[in-house]
Amino acid sequence: MQVFPAKRKKRIANGALLFAAIIGSLGISGCAMQSSSANGGGPPPAPMVPAAQIVLCDDLSSSCTAATSFSFSTLRDLNIQVQWTNVPAGNHVQQLDILLPNQGGLYQTTQTAFLISGSSPGSITTSRMFPVGGTWISQRQMSGSWSVQVSLDGQVMASQAVEFNP
Amino acid sequence: MKRYEPIRKITRAGKPLAWGAILLLILARPAAATERVTIQISAVNLQLRAADTFLDQAAPNTVNGAQQTFAVRSLTGNSNRRAIVMFDLSSLPNVGIKSAILTLHVQTPPSATRTYEAHNVTSFFTETNATWNTRAPGIPWGAAGGDFTAAATSTNTVTNASTTLTFDITADVQTWYNGSPNYGTLIKDSAESNAGGVQTVFWSKEAPVQTNAPSLTVTFVQNVASIAATPGNATLTVNWTYPAALGAVVRPTTGVLVLRRQNFPVDKASWPGDGTSPAVCSVVGTGKVVFKTAALATTFTDNFTCPGDPPPNNSTWFYKVFIHDSVNNYTVNGTSAANGASTYTMEISATPSAAVANQQRSLWIAATHSTNLADPALFPGSIIMVGSQSNLLIGIDANTQLRKYPPVSIAGPVTGRSALIDSAETTVAQNVLFLGDQQGLVYAIATDTGRILWVVNPTGLATNIIFQGGASIQLKSLSTGFPFADDLVVVGTRIGTTKTANQVFGLDANTGATLWALTGNSGGAPPMDIINSTPEIDYMHSAIWVTSNSNAGTQPSLWKINPANGLVIATASLNDIDGSPVLTAASDVLFVGNKAGTLFAVDPTTLATKTFAGGDGAIIGFPVVVGSSSPYTVIFSGATRVHAVTYTVATGTFAPLWSTPINVPSAPIAITGMPNVFVGSNDGKIHELSLATGTDLKQVTANTGQPGFVGDPSLDLTLSRIYVSTTDQRAYGFAFPF
């Protein structure tokens, strides 16, 4: 039997959880469950895990093409879309934190509540216009790698780096 | 052992006078401790910021906030009812919460036992607007029936014999004292849409017998007061006092624990755990324990003797001071690392140095939880109001340096400096702050109490509407030919989805009612791009000046508006402008700077312009004008320098005066008659420049982040203090001159 150091065990456990989350988010956990439960045994079904994808775009572009780098001398508002999947039915609260470059702390935080109707997990997309042009970001040339972090019901679910340049 | 020595000495004396001295010591001893109060509406606690109501699914557009009762109901057919209760916690402005128990008094119990849930409400609402569908004027809930946390904070059962129902909402109240807005608590049935229907009716704060109103019993430890840091040569002394008790004493205060950090404030997620007693020189989060006492000490001199302490001189040291009681409960709020349990614990900073001239200290530091670089609003000698981008408005008492009340919770982030008007001048008859937020709402807030006097949604839009700049107010008492009964509040929109149809509103300062609206491309008005600035009131010319963007130079960007009706008097096309316009004291010139870096001198009557193009990049914020008559000195910031020019009205000419390099400067501040100019920078400092020469005379350190942006300064001439906000989620007060 191979014995893993505690730290490595933890990494493996985290990796398994991450894998379950990815499988869950891809919506193929049902297939795996069916194949493994044919003889009545096997592991319990992987729970459907909520997943978030953050999409950033310049609201003025008609196609809202996703990007992660913007010039604050031309960008007016950053359109922050959060695409949620596998969110359990019920009331939820999304928190969107905009973090300063260089681990500089919280710039802005906003909360958005939404309801997943029915009794099964669902999908929803939230959108927020984050003002950039004419704000301190452009006036004070706050360039660098910012971070957009999204939480669901108090748990951080995704983070996306965004570069603001002159 | 040390703590008992004074008493032992007195006892040994064996004289009656000594026992009297002991009694006096006990009576005179500061009484703050772990304390408990019950907050409930009464003749002495008017609960001005409180609200309670119920949301009725069967009557989804009915407002129920004024009723003497509210109901929680489970009934099929879309007929559920949910209650919301929000308390005014103003009586507890500077505390660490240990327990908070919500009690509701039953008017009519349910016919069968039910389980009810208490959830933290997550969106702003008003008692006069909240319905099942809507939370504020023109703004729906994110989900009909209220916006609240998915997980219940607490549950409890109510029976047909219940007279009260309690919920432990400690965790939620702690988040309200850690930088999250207080929007109250929602109560709902855990199994809604019951076929037979079952309901409990509770008394509201409007109950005819006030002791039946909802109450909140809070156990807490107060912050220290009068905190001050005095630097020396390789030494630094921190002083504080213990506040008087606010409630019944549960356990006595027994001392303080002090954390210290070099160059940065002690992180909000660093705190001593309740019940623990970290040793001196041990590390707690980002801080080091440098002082801990079981006696009621009020001073501590830091000689930097812990192992590994670096040479102290010429570094800025930040201290966070926690009161503790006899079982080591501290001035912290819970255990949430994410929110930061010591967000609002009192802190201070100072810089020791061998050279007295280089020693410096802050007078106060206040957490803002998020970033705001606007100049703090103030009523000199009285109050400082700082907005935040976490939907909060923080009121600081300019004299005690303490928060006047827990932050005012509003709907959206605040980014503009807002007008704060003295009661002697405004018709609202209180010290009132007017502001707009990024939810598109405009507020009047009584700064004495933190009460929201009115809130309106002038555009009627629910999304994509922002008030980026501040609000201005035209005082009736200073105006001639003023047609309105009350003062006039003026705000401009940043509706990012349009480059032509932005709006300027004139609102009644006493009610928020829209008196007029100017809409770009409508009613004969030219197209109007987004507005990022604060309007300027021109009493001399009976006009309001507004700046805007210009849709790539194709539209007007300077607007002269009639305050009586909102009609456009004149416009000028000066390309994109993000900064605010500024009038001279004599109102004979209007100065404005655009994004291209051009400074304009505008004739307020003809709108004829003279230009100065000697800046360096976009003009930041607003220019500052010094002088009571021409020639004026105009100071403004560019990308890397602060510039001063003179402007002579008779000749219409600018003349460069000086230009001083400052890293990414804020807007400057200077006052006629003062010899110096103050400006923030991204080096974490406030720079004091000579008005005559531009020489960078001296600096104080406010924010040592990398980079540490310091926002636009405000000056309090009554107390000779300068206030700034920074990117380290704090506001600072310093004495000036430095």
Radius of gyration of chain A (CA): 20
Distance from C-alpha of B689 to C-alpha of B238, rounded to nearest angstrom: 30
- What confidence score (pLDDT) does residue B300 get? 97
Nearest CA in chain B to A95: B122
- What confidence score (pLDDT) does residue A65 get? 86
pLDDT(A40) > 80: no
Tell how far CA B480 is from the center of its chain.
34
Distance from C-alpha of A121 to C-alpha of A152, rounded to nearest angstrom: 14
**Cβ separation of A91 and B150 shorter than 8 Å?**
yes
Question: In Å, what is the CA distance from B202 to each residue of A30, B57, B68, B107, B165?
Answer: 46, 18, 9, 5, 9
Nearest CA in chain A to B267: A105
* Distance of residue A31 Cα from the nearest chain B Cα, in angstroms: 29
* Distance of residue B278 Cα from the nearest chain A Cα, in angstroms: 27
Radius of gyration of chain B (CA): 28
Of A39, A159, A166, A13, the C-alpha closest to A96 is A159
Distance from C-alpha of B118 to C-alpha of B556, rounded to nearest angstrom: 52
CA atoms B478, B483, B486, B492: torsion sign:
negative
Q: Which two tokens stand for residue B60?
A: 């989804």
Residue of B24 and A97 predicted with greater confidence: A97
Report the residue from B145, B390, B464 with minimal CB separation from A109.
Answer: B390
Distance from C-alpha of B604 to C-alpha of B569, rounded to nearest angstrom: 11
Probe site for chain A from B494, B531, B551, B681 (most A CB atoms < 10 A): B494
Mean pLDDT of all residues in B19-29: 40
Probe site for chain A from B133, B370, B388, B575 (most A CB atoms < 10 A): B370
**Cβ separation of B123 and A111 shorter than 8 Å?**
yes
**Cβ separation of B639 and A110 shorter than 8 Å?**
no
A103-127 pLDDT, tens digit each: 778 999 999 999 999 999 999 999 9
Nearest CA in chain A to B662: A140
Distance from C-alpha of B539 to C-alpha of B561, rounded to nearest angstrom: 12
- What confidence score (pLDDT) does residue A16 get? 36
- What confidence score (pLDDT) does residue B402 get? 94
- What confidence score (pLDDT) does residue B513 get? 98
Structure ipTM = 0.93
Q: Which two tokens stand for residue B738?
A: 């430095």
Question: Which residues, 6+ apart, have CB-to-CB distance to B484 below 8 Å?
Answer: B476, B508, B515, B564
Nearest CA in chain A to B146: A113
Q: Which two tokens stand for residue B190?
A: 């855990």
Using pLDDT thresholds of 50, 70 and 90, give the confidence band for residue B703: confident
Mean pLDDT of all residues in B237-259: 95
Mean pLDDT of all residues in A78-92: 96
pLDDT(B710) > 80: yes
A136-165 pLDDT, tens digit each: 999 999 999 999 999 999 999 999 999 999
* Distance of residue A138 Cα from the nearest chain B Cα, in angstroms: 9
In 10 A of CB B682, how many CB atoms? 21
B63-101 pLDDT, tens digit each: 999 999 999 999 999 999 999 999 999 999 999 999 999
B606-639 pLDDT, tens digit each: 999 999 999 999 999 999 999 999 999 999 999 9
Of B373, B328, B319, the C-alpha closest to B348 is B319
**Cβ separation of A135 and B682 shorter than 8 Å?**
no
pLDDT(B19) > 70: no
* Distance of residue B123 Cα from the nearest chain A Cα, in angstroms: 7
- What confidence score (pLDDT) does residue A46 get? 65
Which one-letter DSSP state was computed for residue B466? B
Nearest CA in chain A to B468: A135
- What confidence score (pLDDT) does residue A60 get? 61
pLDDT(B23) > 60: no
Distance from C-alpha of B603 to C-alpha of B594, rounded to nearest angstrom: 16
Averaged pLDDT score across all residues of chain B: 93
Distance from C-alpha of B352 to C-alpha of B237, rounded to nearest angstrom: 10
Q: Residue B639: its chain A contacts at CB < 8 A? A: 141
In 10 A of CB B164, how many CB atoms? 13
Q: Residue B143: its chain A contacts at CB < 8 A? A: 91, 113-115
Q: Is A72 helix (H, G, I), strand (E, B) or coil?
A: coil
- Which of B9-13, B42-46, B459-463, B498-502 has the lowest average pLDDT? B9-13
Which one-letter DSSP state was computed for residue B3? G
Mean pLDDT of all residues in B456-464: 96
**Which residue is it, tokens 């967000």?**
B343
Of B80, B168, B82, B126, the C-alpha closest to B457 is B126
* Distance of residue A165 Cα from the nearest chain B Cα, in angstroms: 14
Mean pLDDT of all residues in B723-731: 95
- Which of A72-86, A118-132, B29-43 has the lowest average pLDDT? B29-43
* Distance of residue A63 Cα from the nearest chain B Cα, in angstroms: 14
Report the residue from B148, B664, B705 with minimal CB separation from A141.
Answer: B664
Nearest CA in chain A to B374: A136
pLDDT(B725) > 90: yes
Distance from C-alpha of B310 to C-alpha of B314, rounded to nearest angstrom: 11
* Distance of residue A164 Cα from the nearest chain B Cα, in angstroms: 15
If 0-12 CB within 10 Å is exposed, 13-18 middle and 19+ buried, where does residue A16 land?
Answer: exposed
To the nearest whole percent, how much of chain B has pLDDT over 70?
A: 95
Q: Which two tokens stand for residue B165?
A: 């129902």
Distance from C-alpha of B178 to C-alpha of B120, rounded to nearest angstrom: 14
pLDDT(B15) > 60: no
- What confidence score (pLDDT) does residue A9 get? 36
Q: Where are the alpha helices (DSSP H) in B151-262?
A: 170-176
The secondary structure element, H or E, covering residue A13 is helix A6-26
Mean pLDDT of all residues in A4-33: 33
Nearest CA in chain B to A109: B390
In 10 A of CB A165, how many CB atoms? 12
**Cβ separation of A93 and B729 shorter than 8 Å?**
no
Which one-letter DSSP state was computed for residue B210? G
If 0-12 CB within 10 Å is exposed, 13-18 middle and 19+ buried, where does residue B278 land?
Answer: middle
- Which of B10-14, B114-118, B424-428 has the lowest average pLDDT? B10-14
pLDDT(A62) > 70: no
